[in-house]
Amino acid sequence: MAHILLVEDEEGIALGLRMNLELEGYTCSHAADGLSGLAAIRQGGADLVLLDVMLPGMDGFEICRQVRQEGNRVPILFLTAKSLEEDRVQGLEAGGDDYMPKPLSIKELVARIESMLRRQRWYDQSIQKNATGSFGGNTVDFDAYSATTWTGEQVHLTQKECMLLRLLVENEGRVVDRTEILDSIWGTDKYPSTRTVDNLVLHLRKYFEREPTEPRHFLSVYRVGYRFVADPTDSPA
C-alpha cells in the first residue's frame, strides 16, 4: 500500500489523520513543521504528501514551490482551514495537485488520495512509452519536467503544465474538452475551475509559441476546449 507523508503542525489533527489513514491500509509518517516537512519530502519514500498550508518555519505553498523547482513530482494535496478560491488557485499554481479545506471528510480524503495516485501512475506509465517529444523547434523532457524552447531557452515545467502538455500531445489533432482535462489531471470535473485550465494553456503558449497571442500549436475551440497541432503546416485551415 502507498506511503503517505503528513506535514501538519496541529498534533490532534495529525494523530487523527494518521490513525484513520492507517486503518485504510496506508503507512504514514509525520512532520510537525515546515522545515522538517521539506526535509522529509527531499528524503523521498513518500508516494503522496498531505501538506498543511499554515506551518511554522515555512508555509506549505513555499514548500511545494521549492520541491517542484527541484524536479520532485510527488503528488501533493494541500490541507487548509481556508476555502477561498484565491487560496485554492495559489496552491495549484505553486504546483499542488489538489486542495481540501478543514474539517476533513476521511471518506472524501481517501477518494482523492486514490484518484491522485491513479493519475500519477498514468503519467509514469505514459512517459515510459515516450519520455521526450518535439514540435515547432521545441523539445520536451516529460520525465525531467523540463523543455528547451525554439529560442534555446531552458524552461522548468510545473507538474500540472507537464501533465496537460502530455495529455494534449497524446491526443494530437483531437479536441480535448475542459471537462476531460479537469478529470484527467485533477480527477474531477468540478474542481478547481476552467479558469485554471485556461491559465495553464496560456503558460504553454508563452513557453512554446512564437506568437503566443496567435497560437499555432495550442488552439482554442470556443466553449469546448483545446486542440494540439504539432505541425501547423499539416493542419487543415
Q: For residue range 189-208, what is the model confidence (pLDDT) as tens digits?
A: 445 567 788 989 999 999 99
Query: How does pLDDT run across 14-51, given as a tens digit for each residue?
Result: 999 999 999 999 999 999 999 999 999 999 999 999 99
Residue 237 pLDDT more than 50?
Answer: no
The domain limits of the chain are 3-125, 130-234
Sign of the C-alpha dihedral, residues 183, 185, 186, 187?
positive
Global pTM reads 0.70
Q: Note the pLDDT of residue 205.
A: 98
Q: Note the pLDDT of residue 69.
A: 85
CATH assignment, 130-234:
1.10.10.10
What are the C-alpha distances in Å from 112 to residues 48, 56, 104, 141?
11, 26, 12, 28
When pLDDT is averaged across residues 216-237 and rounded to a whole number, the result is 86
Question: Which superfamily is assigned to 3-125 in CATH?
Answer: Response regulator (3.40.50.2300)
Residue 85 pLDDT more than 80?
Answer: no
Edge-to-edge strand ranges of the sheet holding 132-135? 132-135, 138-141, 146-148, 154-156
